[in-house]
Amino acid sequence: MSNSKIFLIIILVLVAIVLVFNYSGLKPKIPESLQPSTYADEQKLMQDIGPNATPEKQQEYFLLAQRLAKEGDSITIKDCKGSPTVLKAIPGKIVSIINQDEKNHQITLESGKYKYAVAANNTAEIKFDLFRGKGFYSYGCDRVSGPAGILFVEE
């Protein structure tokens, strides 16, 4: 066999290997925390869309919250910011609020209608039965402007 045929076979084998890795999903997964869009998307969610938002804007916000929502049963508060930014919540389920700060915090929902105290370096268990159904509910921390995070309810 000539050198050019061997070279062509080697090239074809390499191309086949590259195609197999590309289309089989064997590429290493980039950790979500390093994906560039995550931080920007979380910041977009933390901006209040307001009561006069168009249906298109509300739908865009809803889909973004749905995409970023994390399954779980706890929220960690540090510097009055919630983690995960969006927690997929189930009405009536107990959620642990973990305060990692050196001071007490007050977590508020529904624009201050519901208030929950969480002692410094402590955990409070809260049963959220207040949801009006499918949607997103921002919660605040102390009197810091803007939401600390979002509870996403999907029935």
Task: Name residue, tokens 């249906």.
Answer: 55
Picking from 64, 33, 34, 31, the residue whose alpha carbon sits closest to that of residue 47 is: 64
Q: Specify whether 25 is located in the same domain as 51.
A: no
Are 26 and 44 part of one and the same domain?
Answer: no
Q: What is the pTM of this model?
A: 0.68
How confident is the model over 108-123, as a mean pLDDT?
88
Question: What is the side-by-side order of every strand in the sheet holding 149-153?
Answer: 86-89, 149-153, 135-141, 105-109, 114-118
The answer to whether residues 3 and 67 belong to one domain is: no
Q: In CATH, what number is assigned to the domain containing residue 87?
A: 2.60.40.420
Handedness of CA 98, 49, 58, 115 (dihedral sign): positive
Residues 106 and 131 in one domain: yes
Q: What is the pLDDT of residues 37-56, one digit of tens each?
A: 677 888 887 776 777 888 89
Total domain count for the chain? 2
The 10s digit of each residue's pLDDT in 55-84 is 898 888 888 888 889 999 999 999 999 999
Residue 28 clears pLDDT 60, i.e. is over it? no
Domain containing 18 equals 1-30
Instruction: Looking at the structure, tell me whether residues 75 and 109 fall in a common domain.
Output: yes
Residues 68 and 84 in one domain: yes
My answer on whether 41 and 19 are in the same domain is: no
Same domain for 105 and 139, yes or no, is: yes
List C-alpha distances in Å: 61 to 38, 49, 91, 114.
Answer: 14, 8, 21, 23
One domain for residues 1 and 58? no
Query: Mapping DSSP to helix (H, G, I), strand (E, B) and coil, where does residue 1 land?
Result: coil
Residues 24 and 49 in one domain: no
Q: What is the pLDDT of residue 31?
A: 53
Q: What is the pLDDT of residue 26?
A: 58
Same domain, 11 and 43: no
Is the domain of 23 the same as that of 60?
no
